Amino acid sequence: MTVHPASVYAGVHPAQYVASVGSAAEIDLVSADDDGTVLSGQALRVRVYDRRWITNKADTPRGRRVHRSGPRDTLAETPSATADGKGLAPLAYPPRQSGLRRSVA
């Protein structure tokens, strides 16, 4: 059984994968209900995280050492946009520093 905890869903897609500091990074947003019908006029908030990959050495049960990597995300900004009549909400936000980003709506 599929359970939908929300009545509105947001889709997030970067319009480009590389942006320069101070230049607008485009993020394409779309809002829809759980049937996939687009919703106009929906307010969408995006959480933009700075992502850093952390690598550590760890001991295995057999006495070997392995490298383990995982992301560490820090909330950087929370820009918002409102969906138009087609359910689309383009968002332009200028990164303040270089690095990896993760966007969640």
103 falls within a domain:
no
76 falls within a domain:
yes
101 falls within a domain:
no
The pair of three-digit structure tokens given for residue 39, joined into one six-digit string: 């919703």
The pair of three-digit structure tokens given for residue 32, joined into one six-digit string: 């829809």
Q: If pLDDT is split at 50, 70 and 90, which confidence band does 7 have?
A: confident
3 falls within a domain:
no
What Rg, from alpha-carbon coordinates, does the chain have?
A: 18
pLDDT at 4 over 70: no
Residue-number span of the structural domain to which 44 is assigned: 8-17+24-96
**What confidence score (pLDDT) does residue 52 get?**
94
Report how many domains make up the chain.
Answer: 1
105 falls within a domain:
no
